[in-house]
Structure 1
Amino acid sequence: MARTPRKYVPKVKGERRINCDRGVPECAKCVSKGIRLENPKRSHLVHHRQSLFQKSGDADLPDDGGGEDRDISQIHLEPATAIGEARRDNQRQPYLWLDKDITIRHLEPCRSMATPSTQTLQVTSTQSPATPSNDAAVSDHIAPEMVVIDDCNNGWRNLVLPLACADELVMSAVVAVSAFHLSERAAGQRIVDADVLYSRAICELQRRQDLQHYDVDARYHIVLAIVVMLLAMIVNGCSDFPIMFRMLQSALDMVGGENVMAAGGQVIADFSAQQIRKMRVYASPFLSLDEGVSAVTTQVQQSWAGQQLYQQTYPDQSQALGLISSLRDQAFQIYLHRASSAEDSLAASTHLISNFKQMLESFPEALPGEHVLIWPIFIAASESYITDHQQFFAHFLERQFLRSGFVNIRKALESLRRIWARDRTENWTALLPKQPVFVM
């Protein structure tokens, strides 16, 4: 039987070559892979291809709008160029899709501080995004940092990783987090391009921007993926986290908020709601002063998720758990005191910090949970005026950075040095949103 002749398709000179050699930085294929224009001399090929599509009326050719602000009053989330592009090109001004109530902001370039060279790392042929090493990095090095006591109830290991194996979006977020951590651990080695994987995860989120088209389970997976991406902000210390947090709020509005998620009876939704509540308290002071005061005031009146479970499961660790709760509460009081006080009383501040330091020194090294005190230590250090107190807290944070490798701790130390060098008339709680770093 004779084969049916294929439909004639006119050959477009260089189309395959243009698509595959990074000559079209804004096409969907390149953006999805985090690829940017490497050779500006080939721009004439790009224009040639675009003119061909315009003549043929192809509707698949993406249009980036020239980077201009667009009307987002009628949509919930707006797509734009991936954040990862901003990391590699200072001149471009990419935007992340945002809620209609959020003002579009320019993203600052943000490469991981762990990468000493500006050269792009390439994914090696022996390591794909879904290799077990990514799971190991999250399971062994990242998940333990997110809980007070690492046990079988650690949802970052027992819920997120299994779900990532079944959900492409969650997997993209997990791989991005793992890549940033591996880049820090193996500084100077060409292991993986974390920025490319980060861009890929952002593009996966953009493809799911309209949550109304998904069922409840899929929406919860999208929310969880954003939570995992916020974890990436912690691991790499990137200042993109305010925009990622707005993205999270936009997604929460579509599912009814974290309270609805927690009351739904789904394990993934309940886990996400717990993490969001915790992240909201720690992130809000770095978003705005009003949000910080509101979130901290609300948390003072509540108990931390899982705190009672820890006390019931580990009665022998009651001393450590009690100290952690007390140090957190003191940090809350320090922040609220400074946020509501126009006067800069050195005597009152010194008394507060001395009590905090004394309690921290009573924390035995053998007890677990010291790693969850990053935020309380940062708040106490910000209020410190005595050099001995500042050095004490700085050494604590340096020790935690050397242990975990989370770049946000290094960025927190840089932020503290700016706070300590400020004019005494400036309130440091008002300075936090001006130097965004997700301290947690």
Structure 2
Amino acid sequence: MAVIDRGFNGYRDLILPLAECDTLVQKAVVVAATEHLSSKLARHILPNPNTYNSVLCGLRLRSQTMIPYKDDISMTTLLLLLLCEMISGGDKFTQIYGIMRGLIRSAGAQLEFSPSRLGRFVEIQTLRVQLIAESLFNEAEGSNFVHVQLEKCLEFLRYCQSFHPEHSVLMSLLFDIMTQACRLYVLRASTDPPLCDTVQLVEDFKQVAEKVADYEHVVGHHLLLWPYFVAGAESSTIPHRRYFFQKMQAMYRTTRCENTLKAMHQLNRIWEAQSTTRWTSLLGGPGQVFIM
């Protein structure tokens, strides 16, 4: 999940220590870790659904005594459950993100995180999740959110940049690739131009992706799945489709996360309908996988 997969990693350096002293976060870490081991070991280890349900129950109980959108523990737990959905490619993405979305909306302008390093990290990761999850959750609202909140949500890249000034060239490319993906999504959702009009935009994206490829041993893989999916969905030429599909295949071989495999299946369905339907309108619904 780290943007640059070396040095500081908030999930490891902030959330794991928290799990040593908070039972709810500890259970959520166990669920995510078991999902990850299960994916790596060909499902010979199966996650315990009772543990997952226990985390959901704990969130409900906690909400009776704490204001969830002012509670780092609850927001951290929801982030970990969304990681479970990424790893498993499960069908609970809309349920889990729906809970987070409801908390954020109920907070309005009062969404608060503690002033600690953990609070800052959880806030940044929540914005990162929102940027991608909103696009998968609802086309009209997602398009507006991505258009209006893009710069704010890219804070997770600026945060990483503060730890890695030595990677200024790479960070510039990552800002570029995320921004271009967001623009492709908004363009398709809002104006639905002829496919021939966006071929050059996809090619421009591909040129940046090829530069990022020089740093694939440094970049956290989960940063690239959503932008590659967006560019692939917008692709209307065989070479472009092949390029992004192969990128995602390579990502799956490395991570073994089922969300990547299911994103590839979704791309095939999008391409079949592309001449008659906006691909952005095909996202969402109860079966939508968390492509992040």
**TM-score of the superposed pair, with normalisation by structure 2:** 0.90
Alignment-derived partner of residue 116 in structure 2: 266
CA distance in 2, matches of 1:395, 1:358: 15
Alignment-derived partner of residue 225 in structure 1: 77
Q: 2:36 aligns with which of 181, 185, 188?
A: 181
SS in structure 1 of the partner of residue 94 of structure 2: helix
The count of residues paired between Structure 1 and Structure 2 equals 289
Alignment-derived partner of residue 67 in structure 1: none
Fraction of identical pairs, as percent: 28
Do the aligned partners of 2:188 and 2:278 also contact (CA within 8 Å) in 1? yes
Alignment-derived partner of residue 234 in structure 1: 86
Gaps of 5+ in 2: none
Gaps of 5+ in 1: 1-145
1:342 to partner: Cα distance: 3.7
Q: 2:198 aligns with which of 349, 360, 365?
A: 349
Alignment-derived partner of residue 57 in structure 1: none
Alignment-derived partner of residue 311 in structure 1: 161
SS in structure 2 of the partner of residue 362 of structure 1: helix
RMSD of aligned Cα (Å): 2.4
Tell whether 2:220 aligns with 1:381.
no
Question: 1:259 and 1:158, CA in 2 relative to 1: closer, same or farther beyond 3 A?
Answer: farther
1:311 to partner: Cα distance: 3.5
Q: 1:413 aligns with which of 223, 242, 264?
A: 264
Q: Show CA shifts across 1:340-373 (max 9, x none).
A: 1244x23212111111112212234345226211
Question: 1:312 and 1:206, CA in 2 relative to 1: closer, same or farther beyond 3 A?
Answer: closer
1:406 to partner: Cα distance: 1.5
Do the aligned partners of 1:258 and 1:273 also contact (CA within 8 Å) in 2? no
1:259 to partner: Cα distance: 6.3
CA distance in 2, matches of 1:247, 1:386: 38
Alignment-derived partner of residue 437 in structure 1: 289
1:258 to partner: Cα distance: 8.2
Matches within 5 A, 1:112-131: none
Counterpart residue identity of residue 19, structure 2: A
Question: 1:364 and 1:290, CA in 2 relative to 1: closer, same or farther beyond 3 A?
Answer: closer
CA distance in 1, matches of 2:72, 2:220: 31
CA distance in 2, matches of 1:346, 1:218: 44
Larger RCO of the pair (alpha carbons < 8 Å, separation 6+): 2
Question: 1:311 and 1:253, CA in 2 relative to 1: closer, same or farther beyond 3 A?
Answer: closer
1:168 to partner: Cα distance: 0.9
Do the aligned partners of 2:233 and 2:270 also contact (CA within 8 Å) in 1? yes
CA distance in 2, matches of 1:258, 1:409: 34
CA distance in 1, matches of 2:102, 2:153: 26
1:239 to partner: Cα distance: 2.2
Question: 1:291 and 1:152, CA in 2 relative to 1: closer, same or farther beyond 3 A?
Answer: same
Do the aligned partners of 2:28 and 2:81 also contact (CA within 8 Å) in 1? yes
Larger CA deviation: 294-303 vs 236-245: 294-303
1:380 to partner: Cα distance: 0.4
Do the aligned partners of 1:173 and 1:198 also contact (CA within 8 Å) in 2? yes
CA distance in 2, matches of 1:397, 1:259: 38
Do the aligned partners of 2:31 and 2:84 also contact (CA within 8 Å) in 1? yes
Do the aligned partners of 1:335 and 1:429 also contact (CA within 8 Å) in 2? yes
Alignment-derived partner of residue 55 in structure 2: 201
Which is helix-richer, 1 or 2? 2
Q: Show CA shifts across 1:387-413 (max 9, x none).
A: 121111011011111111211111111
Question: 1:270 and 1:336, CA in 2 relative to 1: closer, same or farther beyond 3 A?
Answer: same
SS in structure 2 of the partner of residue 433 of structure 1: coil
Do the aligned partners of 2:128 and 2:156 also contact (CA within 8 Å) in 1? no
- In terms of Rg, which structure is larger? 1
Do the aligned partners of 2:28 and 2:55 also contact (CA within 8 Å) in 1? yes
Alignment-derived partner of residue 363 in structure 1: 212
CA distance in 1, matches of 2:151, 2:63: 35
Counterpart residue identity of residue 412, structure 1: A
Counterpart residue identity of residue 179, structure 2: D
